[in-house]
């Protein structure tokens, strides 16, 4: 490539930067990415307006290696635990700051290892899967003038269930199989915080069921034998940090014209 061609190419590359620099000098201000991002929220940003749609996702994964550890009601000599939980959310604002919402939850818990069951050690494997559907209503209260940070409370009820299979092997050839099925119904109040990080995308932190009622019906059988049934009812008012959900959300139609909003 000739020297003249190189000079022309370099000039074309730096021309946009020169134009932007000249514009900053004329206006007397320098626009930063933070300014551009902040101006988005200061210009008719309405995430909680009637007619907006909402979708969200929360998930968690737990992978543990256990050695000489108390797990549930037994002593784990050595084992592995892998749990995951996926929560999908959807909603529609029926009014300003008020949204009808529905959540879909799926989870799976898996454990395999050697446990101590007096007087023997047992090779144990457990697989548990479950789902839940939770319709409800969410009310939001902005904490900043541009509504970028807000507090919400979510009230709803949950219908769900799960099934599990446990195989315990001792003395090489002696195996016990335990089948268990659970039905769950619950009503609860869950508070949380929403923070918009980029345009209509938001981070959410939610504390599940600070105040609630839960009904659990469990049926189980060992080695295809007679079925047993257990019914439990709980009314709780507690703050459990282990029930904290972290997730992402997107608000459709969050940026609208204020003049058109009142029509």
To 5 degrees, how large is the angle CA 183–CA 159–CA 181?
20
- Residue with tokens 């050697």, as numbered in its chain: 114
Q: Do the beta carbons of residue 209 and residue 241 sit within 8 Å?
A: no
- Residue 35: per-residue pLDDT: 56
- Is the sign of the CA dihedral 183, 160, 158, 126 positive or negative? positive
Q: 113, 69 in Cβ contact below 8 A?
A: no
Q: What angle do CA 30, 33, 38 make, to 5 degrees?
A: 100
Beta carbons of 31 and 229 less than 8 angstroms apart? no
Residue 242 DSSP class: G
The count of C-alpha atoms lying within 13 angstroms of the C-alpha of 131, restricted to the half-sphere facing its C-beta, is 4
Q: What's the confidence (pLDDT) of residue 55?
A: 94
DSSP 3-state helix, strand, coil percentages of the chain (rounded to 5)?
15, 65, 20
Say if residues 162 and 128 touch (Cβ distance below 8 Å): yes
**Alpha-carbon gap, residue 240 to 191, rounded angstroms:** 12
pLDDT of residue 240: 67
How many Cα atoms are found within 13 Å in the side-chain-facing hemisphere of 159?
A: 4
**What residue ranges of the chain have pLDDT lower than 50?**
1-4, 6-28, 31, 257-263
Per residue in 240-260, pLDDT (tens digit) is 666 677 888 999 887 764 444
pLDDT of 166 reads: 92
């Amino acid at each position: 490539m000739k020297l003249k061609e190189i000079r022309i190419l370099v000039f074309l590359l730096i021309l946009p930067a020169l134009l932007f620099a000249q514009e900053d000098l004329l206006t007397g201000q320098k626009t930063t990415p933070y300014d551009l991002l902040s101006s988005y929220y200061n210009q008719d940003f309405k995430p909680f307006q009637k007619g907006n749609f909402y979708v969200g996702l929360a998930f968690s994964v737990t992978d543990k290696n256990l050695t000489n550890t108390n797990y549930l009601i037994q002593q784990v000599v050595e084992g592995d635990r892998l749990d995951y939980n996926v929560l999908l959310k959807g909603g529609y604002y029926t009014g300003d700051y008020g949204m009808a919402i529905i959540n879909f939850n799926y989870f799976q818990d898996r454990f395999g290892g050697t446990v101590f069951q007096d007087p023997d050690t047992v090779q144990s494997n457990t697989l548990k899967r479950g789902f839940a559907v939770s319709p409800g209503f969410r009310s939001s209260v902005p904490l900043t003038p541009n509504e970028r940070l807000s507090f919400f409370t979510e009230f709803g009820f949950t219908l769900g269930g799960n099934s599990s299979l446990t195989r315990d092997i001792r003395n090489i050839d002696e195996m016990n199989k335990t089948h268990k099925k659970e039905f769950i119904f619950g009503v609860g109040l869950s508070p949380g915080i929403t923070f918009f990080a980029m345009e209509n995308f938001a981070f959410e932190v939610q504390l599940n069921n600070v105040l609630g009622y839960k009904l659990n019906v469990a049926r189980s059988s060992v080695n295809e034998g007679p079925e047993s049934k257990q019914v439990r009812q709980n009314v709780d008012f507690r703050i459990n940090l282990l029930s904290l959900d972290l997730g992402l959300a997107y608000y459709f139609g969050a940026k609208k014209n204020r003049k058109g909003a009142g029509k």
